[in-house]
Amino acid sequence: MSKSPPLHPLLQQAVQLSVAGRNAEAVLIIGRLVAEQHPQALAMMAEMKWRGGMVPQDPVGAREMWRRAGDLGHAQAATTTTNLLANGVAGTRDWPAALERLRQEARRLPQRKAALQLIEKMSLDGRGDPVRQFAPEVLAERPDVRRVERLFTAAECDYLRQLVDKEYEPSVVNDASGRPVRDPIRTSDGASIHWMIEDPAVHALNRRLAAVSATAYEQGEATLILRYKGAQEYKPHFDFVRSEDNQRFKTVLVYLNHDYEGGETYFPEIDLKVKGRKGDALIFTSALPDRSVDPLSKHAGLPVTRGTKYLFTKWIRERKWVP
């Protein structure tokens, strides 16, 4: 794979200004290069608009800037455009067009070739939705806990692990001063497959999760892969978020491996302990019909006593969540 070209000197200057806290000056420099249709500047401004902060958050505008940068030869912006075209976040969704772009990218990028090969083994309709029907096994009626065996294939599990292998970071929360500190409840490491980098293969898997959970893809938060090792755990907690208008009401977990000991998903209020095999999914609800937290949905990821556990995690909201 060819290396990315060096950053334009003015963009290097903008980065240095931003590091020094002179954000307004940095934005002006980047903006001038955007006006000249410089692909690196377009991609940088797209990132800024997507995240917000230095400039107002504008996912729709960000997506358009990535498209323009990609058309001008910026490789990462082009693949981001393909990803967003596949999932429809912040704009129009066009699965056939995204697949055609992916085929072109697969000719020169090994990671995109791997994504395409994975898709070609899936049974999908013209929109990228699964053709296969699912019959979840009911493990508990309250909270509603269900298991689906082999929702993901072994190859799909391996692909997800490979995709984020170098992206794991410690789980953190902000303390009273706003400073990030290690999460005392979730001691695992995590890697997000957010919408920008959710390639068409991962998107197809997320649509499969939506189908099996009887929800829409757009209700799901960005995918999170958790890694537990060396007695790491997720202490008893609720996925429900208090004082949230668009509530988390359902969770889907997919076990990406089973060659470890310990690490069971445990519901202490109903004494239910689950350890899935590779590719198995666990689906459960967190909220009662009146939108209050279901106290029986408290659960934990028990400490891993040997090996390393990898878990695909999807929190699902009541209504559309994606931009």
pLDDT at 146: 99
**Per-residue pLDDT at 178 exceeds 80:** no
**Tens digit of each residue's pLDDT (9 = 90 or more) over 46-91:** 999 999 999 999 999 999 999 999 999 999 999 999 999 999 999 9
Percentage of the chain lying above the pLDDT 70 cut: 99
Average confidence (pLDDT) over 163-176: 89
Dihedral of the alpha carbons of 150, 220, 113, 165, in degrees to the nearest 10: -80
Q: Which helix (H) or strand (E) holds 317?
A: strand 308-317
CA distance 174 to 321: 23
**19 phi and psi, to 5 degrees?**
-60, -35
Section 188-192 average pLDDT = 97
What gap in Å lies between CA 63 and CA 75, rounded to an integer?
Answer: 14
Q: Are 309 and 274 in contact (CB under 8 A)?
A: no
pLDDT higher than threshold 80 for residue 3 = no
Residue 296 predicted with pLDDT over 70 = yes
**Can you give the pLDDT at residue 120?**
99
Q: How confident is the model at residue 177 (pLDDT cuts 50, 70, 90)?
A: confident
**Amino acid letter, 107:** R
Asked if pLDDT for residue 125 goes beyond 60, the answer is: yes
117: three-class secondary structure by DSSP: helix
Rounded to two decimals, the pTM is 0.95
The owner of tokens 């000991």 is 261
| Mean pLDDT taken over the chain | 96
Q: State residue 214's pLDDT score.
A: 97
Average pLDDT over residues 11-33: 98
What span, in angstroms and rounded, lies between the C-alpha atoms of 61 and 68? 11
| pLDDT for 215 | 98
What is the predicted pLDDT for the residue at 2? 55
Q: Tell me, what's the pLDDT at 38?
A: 98
Ramachandran assignment for 53, one of left (phi > 0), alpha (psi -120 to 50 degrees), beta (any other): left
Confidence of residue 204 (pLDDT cuts 50, 70, 90): very high
CB within 8 Å of 289: residues ≥ 6 apart: none
Reported confidence tier of residue 5, pLDDT bands at 50, 70, 90: confident
What are the pLDDT digits (tens) for 134-160?
999 999 999 999 999 999 999 999 999
Q: Which residues pair with 111 in a beta bridge?
A: none
pLDDT band at 1 (very low <50, low <70, confident <90, very high): very low
Q: What is the DSSP string of 282-315?
A: EEEE-B-TTSSB-GGG-EEEPPEEESEEEEEEEE
Domains of the chain: 9-120 (1.25.40.10), 137-317 (2.60.120.620)
d(CA 316, CA 301): 19
